[in-house]
Amino acid sequence: MRLDRSGGDVAPSLSFTFDGETVRARKGETVAAALLANDIRLVGRSFKYHRPRGIWSAGPEEPNALITLGRGAAQTPNQRATVQEVYEGLEVSSQNRWPSLKTDLLSVNDLAAPFLGAGFYYKTFMWPRAFWERVYEPVIRRAAGLGALSGAPDQEPYEKAYAHCDLLVIGSGPSGLMAALVAARAGSDVIVAEQDHALGGRLLAEVEEIDGAPAADWVAAAVAELEAAPNVRVMSRTTVTGVYDQGTYGAIERTAMHVADPGAAPRQTFWRIVAKASILASGAIERGIAFANNDRPGVMAAGAVRAYANRWGVSPGKSVTVFANNDDAHRTARDLAAAGVTVAAVIDPRADAQAIGDYPLFSGAQVTGTTGRLGLTDITIRDASGKDQSVWTDCLAVSGGWNPSVHLTCHMNGRPVWNEDLAAFVPAPDAVPGLFPAGSADGAQSTADCLRTGAEAAIAALEALGQTTEAPALPKAENGFTGHTPFWLVPGKKRAWLDMANDVTVKDVKLAAQENFASVEHMKRYTTQGMAPDQGKNSNVAALAILADATGRTIPQTGTTTFRPPFAPVPLSAMGAGARGKGFAPERFTTSHTATEDLGAPFVEAGLWYRPSYYPRAGETTWRQSCDREVQMVRNAVGVADVSTLGKIDIQGPDAAALLDFVYTNMFSTLKVGKVRYGLMLREDGHVMDDGTTARLGETHYVMTTTTAAAGQVMQHLDFVLQALRPDWDVRIASATEQWAQFAVAGPKARALLDVVLDGPIDWAAWPFMSCGNIGVAGVPGRLFRISFSGEEGFEVAVPARYGEALYRLLLSQASVLGGGPYGMEALNVLRIEKGFITHSEIHGRVTAFDIGMERMISAKKDCIGKTMAARPGLLDPARERLVGLKPTGAVKELTAGAHLFNMGAEAVRLEDQGYITSVCYSPTLGSFLGLGFLKSGPDRIGETVQMVDHLRGVKTEVEVCNPVFFDPEGGRMRG
Amino acid sequence: MKRYSAFAVAREGLRHHAGWERAWKSPAPKPSYDVIIVGAGGHGLATAYYLGKNFGITNVAVIEKGWLGGGNTGRNTTIIRSNYLQDPSAAIYEKARSLYEDLSQDLNYNVMFSPRGVMMLAQTHHEIRGYQRTAHANALQGVETEFIGPERVKELCPIIETRGPRYPVLGALWQPRGGTARHDAVAWGYARACSDMGMDIIQKCEVTGVTQEGGQVTGVETTKGHIGCTKLGIVVAGHSGVLADMAGFRLPIESVALQALVSEPIKPCMDVVVMANTVHGYMSQSDKGEMVIGGGADGYNNYTQRGSFHHIEETVRALIETFPIISRLKMLRMWGGIVDMTGDRSPIISPTPLGNTFINCGWGTGGFKAIPGSGWATAEMIARGTPGPLAAEFGLNRFREGRFIDESVAAGVAH
Amino acid sequence: MRITCPYCGERDIREFTYRGHALAIARPAPDAGEAAWDDYLHLRDNPAGATQDLWHHGPCGAWVIVDRDTVTHEVAGSKAVAEVKR
């Protein structure tokens, strides 16, 4: 209910819906505050037993009140009602219930609870054997999960952002604000990150004074000072979620989750903040007490109850009771009573507890049970004399003390340490380099201590950054309410909840101990304690205490608690912002891309590049028709293909030749200026890394070509050789892949085409096979290489990339006059298989020079990368599978890439395996399917017939083992 | 040991679970054993189990520095598949997969093997070729897989965007009897069965030295004193180098962190396991409803069992591209497991230079799925003193000799 | 992790690619023998603690030797390979 407070709370001005019912709310309220204001206590159903659940907390640690926002593509499951701010028209739905929140059929699980204890599923569902996958698991799976996805892709915008600062202050309670003020005044570059929309932390939820005025006034002044400072950036609605190495922090900002119509604003933003130092002022999280049926809607954290009252003017109940082991929780009774709410009882297990206001106190007493099916109606109090009485109450505020929010200090494997005085874990010293815990996150218990430790932490952090600051005058503040005595559970036979989100009870933890799951990690995994959406923030310490008790050990002997990132769940949408659709990876286009699109060619991806597959012409209905025509066009007239995607590395300097001799197996120092040579490159382990041609343009100037795929790897390799192995060499390398547009012009009419395009006249006698040089191309300085990957007389002509498109269009228009035209990757593949040229289908990382018949290319006259290791016995084993050509000779005339080879008459089983096919094509030139493949001792078996067995399609055929060069083996056509 | 059954669960439910026994004992070490296995992860426990079951060797201690199953066994994405390209890999992973089929009944412990099918998406033409080749190889190896088209992918996993504008799904390698299992239960089930055979599982006991005489192992020094043995098995994954150093040899291994994350639980939306290697991400939905997401390995040598940010970010980017409907999910927890990688990405199951000392390591990212097969092969090697057919090609010397079992996918596209 | 490139300054790890232990810069002579090459290519100390390894800084092409801790990810320093070998 709403409290009638002086100070003029505005009337509820907006409305939203909860399960379709309209709820009136005030601006700035959370969904939880608004629901409680409207006396709605039942908010969700628990994970396993489908128990009715309400709101436990007032912050991001909420274990119970998980809700779904929106509908359709905007539907977002598993949001915390205690964090989500209301806005006009917001749609909120409860989760994990069917058909309705009040009548949930799966609450039948709760009746079966005696049989569904910790780990029961490991002990059953095994018979009959097939039933696990056919019956049991499908049934379990159907019941799984909390909220649901809509099934529609998210179309809303998200963002990623980056920030750098001297000091990151995490949290803006008294310690965070004080630390930020000290650093701001010292001139540091400060970021203050606060998960709430308002700064102030616990000071917003308490009735207390700082420097003689309401704490809220001090907060307002501090915030105003920080916001006015040019060196401070205040980030509200921003939760620091993780700590990573070297001062890198992840944070999620709910940028526009509180706005009805955010337009183009990102809904959430994932921040990566790099800070030289940080202050952890993340506060503390209240823990509960385990007692029978302590999970009903209406049972809440005591600090949360007074936060709702003091901050939002909402009382979670009409008749409130308090069950706590500490002085701090008595403030809940005091504040609610002062606000006019009935406080029916305060139950404190400490015999010496004192009341701090006008309310009935049961000292030395315990709450032994609760009733109320869909919400709390009564509690049973066992007083100091052991007598039970029932008290009517609709809100029980519970506190078992406070756990410092040490989460971020665990992210780099720091283990928090047990502090016996506080009965809590506090951050280990130096758990994260450069992170300084302060305030209640470090165990401070009063506002005065928070202010003091905040200032001290800031001074220490600044000192670590080499800045000195004077200690500020500390404001006077509250310094009481620190008394407490550890109290974890009320003994009893009924179920007492620890992890409410995962339905883990005290009994489950005790059963784990009984079955020797006595390590904390075993207990957690066996019971699922701490694995739920709240990640154990509310219950891990209590579960550890109970395990310690059950195993007869102290808490430090039993173990510690640890937390992995993220502190609060991070939406994948923000972490992966920008990755939807084409945003996932850049696309690289050649200069001929638009012209190729104009011709209707389908593209195929090649690394990040896109290359044309084939160029369909009118009347062609299959890719094979286009491909066959393009192959014949190249063989009979002239074809043009963009080969700019191949890596081009410019190599210059007196030792350029020495570098090439070292990275290639064969010699390049002997290559004459104006000549090109094919080179084979090995990895140091003796396997083939890459191949390509390298041209010598001048005495000290080479241009190396790599395959499209390996361009980056080869560049890195050359960098390594030059910097790490031969820094004495005087040579420089640079990638020139994107600087040059390069086109293959191949076929018997290649010269005729180039005659029109090149600045002429050209003396072709001066351009023999494997020659190269500078040349004018339609008035532009370019390069010409006479090389061939098709087996025809071929050239590659290169111009600076900005002229690429113009040259491509010119080449195509002139080619068409000669009966030629463009050819795509499919035709290129056929042309190269006909010639037995290899690609990465063959040099797939597992082959050696020996395997591809190039062992003689490893020069005996010099060392090179990979030479020594290529001589290992395993790499020269004659039984290795080695490259051959394959031609079908049986009834089936087709070959299959990937199919395996067997000796004639042998059974087609693994032990008889002789090899496999890597590439196949239909050759219109030879009128046959052709294949390349690897066959045991292949080169020694030319002329033999083996069988190919395609197990997937059930096809068998005889194939002849041939020399891999099927077409023009003498190479007469290439040489012209 | 009292057997687990539906009846036992009902009986105990009615008497407040008072009758459940310890799942395994926690004994003090004896002075010596026939065999000591160092490492009570899945592989070490499975090795001990098959030593007992297949060879009747039960005077065995399994020594563990931390708590059993606390290493990679409990820190992986629980995927089980055997669709490997190379014959030796396919053989041992398929042995493991087939043992998983009956493991719950064998151990009397429900490990929840769930053969819901694993698909590896082909999103480039290079991958189509690679997976078709694997499908052909699997047909020979007796591994049931098929190469399926995009329509069938969509049918099996409707939430995949098969027509993504950047990397459309062009097909997939589909292993219908691949799947997942409950990872902790695998370790616990083996541990309970070993304990029941009279083996000693000694937790919180760190090995600090290996003792030897005349080139033969004699035992281990531990934080609980010296424990003698006739044979020693080292099965400690990421910490293999440390143990090898104690035993006086070096390994071709580097430890790296493998990244993973889970989402909050949501209602069921995918039944199969999907791996997308082009975009580096894989995902399945657990029986609790969490999406279990695996990313790549940190490319660099490290021992930090924690999540590193940039890999996870890339994985999430990839999954949003391939599964656009999941972007409203939230990451709940991220972590890193330390895996030991060899140069050819295949394991080592081998005798070592020290007599009667054997090692099993180098599983890289493939450890969990291999557990039963690895234990089977390692037990056979330890019992007989020499590797059997499953382990024969995974020897330590293969690196020096250049006989790799290369399972690393060579990056590459056609010219 | 953040690594300092000796030429460009401190940068996020995403700008770097990893190669392995820094011993890769000490390539054995071709005739150094099988054991030396086995050490160079395969066998690794794989230390849990201080190590020295090689990173390639993509934007500038520098190979960098980084002193770091494999357990804590602390980076103690870095230097250019080219400077070390000069």
CB–CB of C44 and B253 under 8 A? yes
In this structure, how many other beta carbons lie within 10 angstroms of the beta carbon of residue B56? 9
Q: Give the closest-approach CA distance of C13 to chain A in angstroms.
A: 10
Model confidence at A17, in pLDDT bands (50, 70, 90)?
Answer: very high
Q: What is the pLDDT of residue B409?
A: 54
- CATH number for the domain spanning A722: value is 3.30.70.1400
Q: Count the domains in chain A.
A: 6
As a whole number of Å, the end-to-end CA separation of chain C is 28
Selection from C84, C85, C86, C73 nearest residue C3 by Cα: C73
- 3-state DSSP assignment of residue A19: coil
Question: What is the chain B residue with the closest CA to C52?
Answer: B301
Residue B194 one-letter amino acid: C
Q: Give the closest-approach CA distance of B91 to chain A in angstroms.
A: 11
* CA atoms lying within 13 Å on the CB side of residue A618: 0
Task: Assess: ipTM above 0.85.
Answer: yes
Contact yes or no for A427/A433 (Cβ under 8 A): no
A721/A662 same-domain check? yes
Q: Where are the alpha helices (DSSP H) in A15-168?
A: 31-37, 108-111, 131, 137-143
Q: Give the closest-approach CA distance of C17 to chain B in angstroms.
A: 8
User: pLDDT 10s per residue in chain B (415 long)?
Assistant: 789 999 999 999 998 899 999 999 999 999 999 999 999 999 999 999 999 999 999 999 999 999 999 999 998 999 999 999 999 999 999 999 999 999 999 999 999 999 999 999 999 998 999 999 999 999 999 999 999 999 999 999 999 999 988 899 999 999 999 999 999 999 999 999 999 999 999 999 999 999 999 999 999 999 999 999 999 999 999 889 999 999 999 999 999 988 899 999 999 999 999 999 877 789 999 999 999 999 878 888 988 877 677 888 889 998 998 999 999 999 999 988 889 999 899 999 999 999 999 999 999 988 999 999 999 999 999 999 999 999 999 999 999 999 999 887 533 333 3
pLDDT higher than threshold 90 for residue A580? no
Name the token pair of A456: 């001290």
Q: Give the closest-approach CA distance of C19 to chain A in angstroms.
A: 10
Q: What is the pLDDT of residue B415?
A: 35
A38/A113 same-domain check? yes
What phi and psi, each to the nearest 5 degrees, are found at residue A65?
-85, 70
Q: For residue A959, list its beta bridge partners.
A: A888, A946
| Dist CA B388 CA B371 (whole Å) | 17
The pairing of beta strand B330-342 with beta strand A570-571 = antiparallel
**Mean pLDDT across chain A:** 96
Query: For the residues of B164-201, what is the DSSP string, one character each?
Result: -SSS---EEEEETT-EE--HHHHHHHHHHHHHHTT-EE
**Residue burial A550-560, b: 16+ Cβ < 10 Å; e: rest:** bbeeebeebbb
Closest Cβ opposite residue A869 in set C37, C72, C80: C37
Domain boundary among A558, A585, A618: A558
Q: What is the pLDDT of residue A127?
A: 86
Name the token pair of A14: 């907006």
pLDDT higher than threshold 90 for residue A956? yes
The answer to whether position A478 is within a domain reads no
A624/A664 same-domain check? no
CB–CB of C37 and A867 under 8 A? no
Q: What is the pLDDT of residue B2?
A: 85
Question: What is the chain A residue with the closest CA to B88?
Answer: A910
Q: What is the pLDDT of residue B411?
A: 35
| Dist CA A154 CA A573 (whole Å) | 8
A408/A350 same-domain check? no
The predicted model gives A711-719 an average pLDDT of 97
Name the token pair of A958: 């005889």
Selection from A670, A728, A717, A723 nearest residue A694 by Cα: A670
pLDDT higher than threshold 80 for residue A9? no
Contact yes or no for A195/A239 (Cβ under 8 A): yes
A241/A328 same-domain check? no
A622/A681 same-domain check? no
CB–CB of B302 and C71 under 8 A? yes
Closest Cβ opposite residue B24 in set A142, A516, A584: A516
CB–CB of B399 and C41 under 8 A? yes
CB-based contact, B399 to chain C, within 8 Å: yes
Q: Give the closest-approach CA distance of A247 to chain C in angstroms.
A: 9
Question: What is the chain B residue with the closest CA to C43?
Answer: B252
The answer to whether position A796 is within a domain reads yes
Closest Cβ opposite residue B327 in set A147, A573, A951: A573
- 3-state DSSP assignment of residue B76: coil
- CATH number for the domain spanning A611: value is 3.30.1360.120
Domain of residue A94 covers 1-147
The predicted model gives A247-269 an average pLDDT of 96
Contacts of residue A248 in chain B, CB cutoff 8 Å? Answer: 309
Q: Where are the alpha helices (DSSP H) in A551-655?
A: 555-558, 572-575, 593-598, 623-636
Q: What is the pLDDT of residue A8?
A: 56
Question: Where exactly are the structural domains of chain C?
Answer: 2-83
What are chain C's partners, defined as 3 or more CB pairs within 8 angstroms? A, B
Q: For residue B148, list its beta bridge partners.
A: B172
| Dist CA B80 CA B282 (whole Å) | 13
The answer to whether position A586 is within a domain reads no
Q: What is the pLDDT of residue B410?
A: 39
Calculate ∠ Cα A328-A331-A336, nearest 5°: 150
Residue located via tokens 């060879």: B55
Name the token pair of B137: 């190889």
The predicted model gives A671-687 an average pLDDT of 97
Model confidence at C1, in pLDDT bands (50, 70, 90)?
Answer: confident
Contacts of residue A723 in chain C, CB cutoff 8 Å? Answer: 62-63, 80-82, 85
Contact yes or no for A801/A741 (Cβ under 8 A): yes
Contacts of residue A274 in chain C, CB cutoff 8 Å? Answer: 2
A511/A380 same-domain check? yes
CB-based contact, C23 to chain A, within 8 Å: no
Peptide bond into C6 cis (omega under 30): no
The predicted model gives A13-17 an average pLDDT of 95
- 3-state DSSP assignment of residue A20: coil
Q: Determine the number of helices (DSSP H) and then strands (DSSP E) in chain A.
A: 24, 50
| Dist CA B239 CA B241 (whole Å) | 5
Domain boundary among A703, A735, A767: A735
Q: What is the pLDDT of residue A559?
A: 87
pLDDT higher than threshold 90 for residue A142? no
A3/A101 same-domain check? yes
A10/A137 same-domain check? yes
CB–CB of A829 and B414 under 8 A? yes
- Tens of pLDDT, residues A57-79: 999 999 999 999 999 999 999 99
Q: What is the pLDDT of residue B413?
A: 33
Q: Give the closest-approach CA distance of B211 to chain A in angstroms.
A: 30
Q: Which of A572, A623, A829, A850 to mutate: most B Cβ within 10 Å? A: A572
pLDDT higher than threshold 80 for residue A5? no
The answer to whether position A217 is within a domain reads yes
A56/A116 same-domain check? yes
Residue A70 vs residues A18, A23, A93, A268: alpha-carbon distances, Å: 11, 15, 8, 15
| Dist CA A631 CA A639 (whole Å) | 8
Q: Give the closest-approach CA distance of A718 to chain C in angstroms.
A: 10
CB-based contact, C14 to chain A, within 8 Å: no
CB-based contact, C25 to chain A, within 8 Å: yes
pLDDT higher than threshold 60 for residue C32? yes
Structural class in CATH, domain C2-83 = alpha beta
Residue A154 vs residues A149, A571, A572, A763, B50: alpha-carbon distances, Å: 10, 12, 11, 63, 50
- Tens of pLDDT, residues A304-338: 999 999 999 999 999 999 999 999 999 999 999 99
Model confidence at A346, in pLDDT bands (50, 70, 90)?
Answer: very high
- 3-state DSSP assignment of residue A660: helix
- Tens of pLDDT, residues A856-905: 999 999 999 999 999 999 999 988 999 999 999 989 999 999 999 999 99
Contacts of residue A141 in chain B, CB cutoff 8 Å? Answer: 268, 271, 285, 287, 289
Query: For the residues of A777-844, what is the DSSP string, one character each?
Result: ETTEEEEEE---SSSSSEEEEEEEGGGHHHHHHHHHHHHHHTT-EE--HHHHHHHHHHTT---TTTSS
CB-based contact, A246 to chain C, within 8 Å: yes
Radius of gyration of chain B, Cα coordinates, nearest whole angstrom: 21
Residue A855 one-letter amino acid: E
CB–CB of A845 and B406 under 8 A? yes
Question: What is the chain C residue with the closest CA to A162?
Answer: C12
CB–CB of A716 and C17 under 8 A? yes
The answer to whether position A838 is within a domain reads no
Q: Which of residues 43-82 of C touch B (CB under 8 A)?
A: 43-48, 51, 53, 55, 70-73
- 3-state DSSP assignment of residue A14: strand
Selection from B197, B198, B184 nearest residue B27 by Cα: B198
In this structure, how many other beta carbons lie within 10 angstroms of the beta carbon of residue B313? 21
Domain boundary among A513, A536, A558: A558
**Dmax over Cα atoms in chain A, in whole Å?**
116
The answer to whether position A938 is within a domain reads yes
A131/A277 same-domain check? no
The answer to whether position A428 is within a domain reads yes
A172/A273 same-domain check? yes
E-strand spans in A699-793? Answer: 701-706, 732-735, 740-746, 772-777, 780-785
Q: Which of residues 29-88 of B touch C (CB under 8 A)?
A: none
The pairing of beta strand B281-285 with beta strand B291-301 = antiparallel
The answer to whether position A120 is within a domain reads yes
What are chain B's partners, defined as 3 or more CB pairs within 8 angstroms? A, C
What are chain A's partners, defined as 3 or more CB pairs within 8 angstroms? B, C
Selection from A6, A110, A100 nearest residue A50 by Cα: A110
B–C interface: beta-carbon pairs under 8 A: 62
Q: What is the pLDDT of residue A7?
A: 55
Residue count of chain A, please give it.
976
Q: Which of A68, A432, A522, A914 to mutate: most B Cβ within 10 Å? A: A522
A–C interface: beta-carbon pairs under 8 A: 60
